Structure 1
């Protein structure tokens, strides 16, 4: 992929701490449209890498590169408490889903204040897709892009992901735990086999996440939306994209054939991001035409 790209650090101090990211700018003359890239679940850094994932997929960095090749700037960032996004005293039991939304809103405001940047889109991957939808309620964004986003509550998605993959007794315990958390109740002593997934310190975050129905949030969002999903996504199956599209029939649905959850197409990590960037570029053109009209 041949293109000219300039990257510069961006830091934003918030009441909770510091957010640190990388602003990728095209080599062409600005101002440029810009996309805030919001990573998925877990302790993800600005490139999409996480200690919980084997290897280093770097799918968010690849997506930033693909956007620059289309003349679109982007900001990708370390999540709160990860990498250089230092939040002194942050404890797992204090983290809530809304905190991630607040961070996205703050960073969107920073991008809007940069005179080099124009049309602003929020793009979230996986769990980040819900963050983007919620942040768009308060951020100065013109559109939202959901990539591999869930179309049902996270507790229901987790229930489907685990169904039939565990011993019967353990599966019953998982289903009971999910039901308890969905009812906004904590468990004092989860079974040892479930301690990693449902440890007491992460339960408040899960409860705060399980409250949101992504399809309902999208249906209530008065902004243009682009829905992107891979046909080979085993973690968030294609039915989730269909649920989102049913909630917003005016949204464009792009199904990328053979793309998995981390944006690789048949094992090629570089193949998915350009297809996503192409669809984002088309959306940007539509937005800019409507603004000029």
Structure 2
């Protein structure tokens, strides 16, 4: 197969449900092993809901309180990359289950929730055939479709959005298309994504690669793709992801937030390594009537974490850690007030 312009070959032997052998790339060979996946039986036990899109059904999970309804419902939108509806990413070892825990805690306080894998991820991976076909607007339209679904369901009283990280911006734009009763941003950027990316990369890259990243982002902002990208930057700026980034760069969070006419809560942790407290403050300044909640010691995956980078990141793979103290109290108090 050809991946990012490189020809990679796999040669192996199938034995029962395993395939093992070697793959060769750039003249070097490495071992590989594939194991046949199992159907996730748990999926059938969960309260699966679906919306009908033109490409087919998109699936989500409904979490409801154990008391009698109808209930207010919050639609949870996950962050960037392959982050799934539970808040976990295959790019990281282990799980943190942050969004799953958030949904379960909402249910314990009488609030229903719907969380779903974005297109191209998990149960909804079939909605994306090629990475280069993905557009930010598709995420917005999908979220808007879930809002429509919830509004028509008599199990729900009010419909709101909780967007985490990139899901915050998706939720803002979707809420502007389909009016919601409440909007909550958790760890949402307060600046266009190019500014956030450059801030993150400035602490990781040498001067020559940082200059290249700046140049690439400028071209992408102008709607132009860049074919030649240094190997060190391929994970961020590979050609196949550039159409998505071009569409993403069109959206300024502060401009999107101005369009909302519902009660708004903006949350950030002061130990978040990826999104700064100043981003939350910028969003709050845009909508002065919004509520701002800064959680002491909370990191990007909603857990209490040390400031030390390595120790902070270690929490990303620990599902046993509870949500940061003050997060649920803040959300529930806000929702009860509105």
The two structures have a TM-score, normalised by structure 2, of 0.79
Task: Work out whether residues 120 and 128 of structure 2, in 8 Å CA contact, stay in contact via their aligned partners in 1.
Answer: no
Shift of 1:197: 1.1
Aligned with 2:330 (options 279, 282, 291): 279
Match of 2:248 in 1: 209
Alignment map for 1:64-83 (pairs within 5 Å): 64-83=103-122
1:190 aligns with 2:229: yes
1:238 aligns with 2:289: no
Match of 2:34 in 1: none
Shift of 1:283: 2.6
Across the aligned residues of Structure 1 and Structure 2, the Cα RMSD in angstroms comes to 1.6
Distance in 2, matches of 1:176 and 1:16, equals: 36
Match of 1:49 in 2: 88
Change (3 A) 1:35 1:174: same
Q: Deviations over 1:135-178 (max 9, x none)?
A: 00122411110000000000110011111421121111111111
Task: Work out whether residues 16 and 87 of structure 1, in 8 Å CA contact, stay in contact via their aligned partners in 2.
Answer: no
Alignment map for 1:103-122 (pairs within 5 Å): 103-122=142-161
Q: Could you say what secondary structure the match of 1:204 adopts? A: helix
Change (3 A) 1:181 1:8: same
Task: Work out whether residues 176 and 256 of structure 2, in 8 Å CA contact, stay in contact via their aligned partners in 1.
Answer: no
Q: Structure 1 segments of 4 or more deviating over 6 A?
A: none
Shift of 1:110: 1.0
Match of 2:99 in 1: 60
Which stretch of the first structure deviates more once superposed, 31-40 or 185-194? 185-194
Distance in 1, matches of 2:100 and 2:127, equals: 26
Aligned with 2:196 (options 152, 157, 175): 157
Distance in 1, matches of 2:246 and 2:212, equals: 17
Change (3 A) 1:226 1:196: same
Aligned with 2:76 (options 29, 37, 42): 37
1:256 aligns with 2:295: yes
Shift of 1:86: 4.3
Greater relative contact order (Cα 8 A, min sep 6): structure 1 or 2?
Answer: 1
- Larger-Rg structure: 2
Shift of 1:120: 0.8
Task: Work out whether residues 17 and 85 of structure 1, in 8 Å CA contact, stay in contact via their aligned partners in 2.
Answer: no
Alignment map for 1:172-187 (pairs within 5 Å): 172-187=211-226
Task: Work out whether residues 98 and 323 of structure 2, in 8 Å CA contact, stay in contact via their aligned partners in 1.
Answer: no
Query: Which ranges of structure 2 fall in alignment gaps of 5 or more residues?
Result: 1-44, 306-314
Distance in 2, matches of 1:67 and 1:237, equals: 25
Shift of 1:269: 3.1
Match of 1:291 in 2: none
Distance in 2, matches of 1:89 and 1:226, equals: 32
Distance in 1, matches of 2:54 and 2:245, equals: 23
1:167 aligns with 2:196: no
Task: Work out whether residues 18 and 87 of structure 1, in 8 Å CA contact, stay in contact via their aligned partners in 2.
Answer: no
Q: Deviations over 1:15-63 (max 9, x none)?
A: 1333111100000111111000000001122211111233211111010
Q: Could you say what secondary structure the match of 1:185 adopts? A: coil
